[in-house]
């Protein structure tokens, strides 16, 4: 993938490291708030990434500076409301479609939440496959203070992750959720010391990008779709995926290696 195509972007930074594309929201003075240009740049990058599944395995997203993303820029809120009065719902769906891309690209998407994830910023993180967080992170959907429902997919994705009760609590109260509560509720899967977040992200992404392709894609599809099916149909998806994967020499070699090392006995346990 030729990331030089993105060298002129003003709102996001894009870097390829091996089979990984790293996206950084780069408006630190505005706490990485989303304006029209940033939405467009994210859309451009993700469209390109989706076509590179033979080369790119993982997409990571984080924020520059002290915040992950403070939501939609205040000026953009005013401008968008003026447009929405005339073009609802097509305009809203345009922004929601950008968040959707983080969920729909074939690569595994990981959000490394380094600070506040607010409003649409949190909604983008919710669309990622995995969320890990710094102990300085915080989470909030404040849109109801304006009488507006979170409209980039946040209500449905949040409810799937933490359950309807907590989702309604967060959306209706607009309260700030701590990293500890986010971890307990399943909003994020890991919380680490702030200074260790980059290393944690690198280790996770490195492991996933080394998996035989497209095993990670098949697994995430099975996890996303399986709960909506009866167990037999869900198992059929898993079986079909494995039939495809077992046609690869690399996978058969890994099976043999797994047997030689007696499975989990050959794996390193994480530090306690």
Q: Are residues 239 and 110 in the same domain?
A: no
Report if residue 36 sits inside a domain.
Answer: yes
Domain region containing 87 = 3-209
> Do both 154 and 101 map to the same domain?
yes
Is 175 part of any domain?
A: yes
**Cβ count within 10 A of residue 147:** 6
pLDDT single digits (tens) 115-124: 999 999 999 9
What's the DSSP call for residue 156? H
CA distance 217 to 211: 10
Question: How many structural domains does the chain have?
Answer: 2
What confidence tens digit (pLDDT) does each residue in 180-207 have? Answer: 999 999 999 999 999 999 999 999 999 9
Indicate whether 133 and 166 sit together in one domain: yes
Q: End of a domain among 169, 194, 209?
A: 209
Q: Are residues 15 and 76 in the same domain?
A: yes
The pLDDT tens digits for 238-255 are: 999 999 999 999 999 999
Boundary-marking domain end, from 184, 209, 234: 209
d(CA 113, CA 63): 7
Element (H, E) at 79: helix 74-87
Residue 271 lies in a domain: no
Q: Are residues 243 and 194 located together in one domain of the fold?
A: no
Q: Which helix (H) or strand (E) holds 185?
A: helix 179-185
pTM over 0.85: yes
138-187: pLDDT as tens digits: 999 999 999 989 989 999 999 999 999 999 999 999 999 999 999 999 99
- Is the domain of 145 the same as that of 255? no
- The span from the CA of 120 to the CA of 97, in Å, is 12
| Predicted pLDDT at 5 | 82
Considering the chain, what is the average pLDDT of its residues? 92
CA 256 – CA 262 distance, rounded (Å): 10
Residues 118 and 42 in one domain: yes
Residues 191 and 222 occupy one common structural domain: no
Of 188, 209, 230, the one marking the end of a domain is 209
Does residue 272 lie in a domain region? no
Q: Are 224 and 174 part of one and the same domain?
A: no
Same domain, 185 and 248: no
Residue with tokens 């098949």: 218
């Amino acid at each position: 993938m030729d990331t030089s195509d993105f060298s002129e972007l003003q709102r996001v930074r894009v870097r390829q490291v091996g089979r990984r594309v790293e996206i950084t929201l780069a408006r630190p003075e505005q706490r990485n708030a989303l304006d029209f240009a940033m939405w467009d740049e994210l859309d451009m990058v993700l469209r390109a990434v989706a076509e590179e599944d033979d080369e790119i395995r993982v997409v990571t997203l984080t924020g520059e500076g002290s915040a992950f993303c403070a939501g939609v820029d205040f000026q953009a809120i005013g401008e968008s409301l003026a447009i929405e009065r005339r073009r609802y719902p097509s305009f809203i769906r345009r922004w929601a479609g950008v968040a959707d891309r983080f969920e729909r690209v074939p690569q595994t998407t990981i959000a490394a939440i380094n600070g506040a994830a607010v409003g649409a910023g949190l909604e983008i993180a919710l669309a990622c496959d995995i969320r890990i967080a710094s102990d300085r992170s915080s989470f909030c959907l404040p849109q109801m203070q304006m009488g507006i429902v979170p409209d980039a997919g946040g209500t449905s994705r949040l409810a799937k992750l933490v359950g309807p009760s907590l989702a309604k609590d967060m959306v209706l109260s607009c309260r700030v959720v701590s990293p500890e509560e986010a971890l307990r509720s399943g909003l994020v899967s890991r919380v680490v010391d702030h200074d260790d977040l980059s290393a944690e992200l690198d280790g996770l992404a490195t492991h996933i990008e080394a998996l035989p392709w497209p095993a990670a894609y098949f697994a995430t599809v099975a996890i996303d779709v399986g709960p909506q099916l009866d167990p037999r149909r869900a198992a059929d998806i898993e079986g079909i995926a494995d039939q495809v994967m077992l046609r690869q020499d690399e996978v058969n070699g890994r099976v043999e290696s797994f047997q030689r090392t007696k499975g989990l006995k050959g794996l390193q346990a994480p530090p306690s």
